[in-house]
Amino acid sequence: NAGVTQTPKFQVLKTGQSMTLQCAQDMNHNSMYWYRQDPGMGLRLIYYSASEGTTDKGEVPNGYNVSRLNKREFSLRLESAAPSQTSVYFCASSGQVGTDTQYFGPGTRLTVL
């Protein structure tokens, strides 16, 4: 099992460009999450999907959109990238939303110039 995979691993964008970060899990988990991690800070939740067909805002959703394409895949889209979105982005999944252990992908390092 690959667990949680993310693509791409690195990306450089110019201000105003758009891109989609891809995430897939092969653990048959119901819930998936997108976090961002900035230096000196813990993980902050951007969006999550408790189950296929549902998505909800986390702590820092502004500037992002998500799509739960199917049970395996959860994508994060930046419509018009800003330098403040320079960060490392992590996708995670868990059996159930909330208290379950979360399994993380390797991360995408995004730089917006």
Partner 1 sequence: SQQGEEDPQALSIQEGENATMNCSYKTSINNLQWYRQNSGRGLVHLILIRSNEREKHSGRLRVTLDTSKKSSSLLITASRAADTASYFCATDPNTDKLIFGTGTRLQVFP
Q: Residue numbers of the site for partner 1 (CB under 8 A)?
A: 4, 35, 40-45, 48, 50, 58, 90, 92, 97-99, 101-107
Minimum CB separation of residue 92 from partner 1 in Å reads: 8
Q: Residue 4: which of 89, 110, 106, 97 has the closest Cα?
A: 106
Minimum CB separation of residue 67 from partner 1 in Å reads: 19
Fill in the DSSP letter of residue 72. S
Our CB check for partner 1 shows the closer of 19 and 50 to be 50
Neighbours of 103 (CB within 10 A): 16
Our CB check for partner 1 shows the closer of 63 and 106 to be 106
Minimum CB separation of residue 42 from partner 1 in Å reads: 4
Task: Write the CA distances from 3 to 50, 54, 91, integer angstroms.
Answer: 18, 21, 11
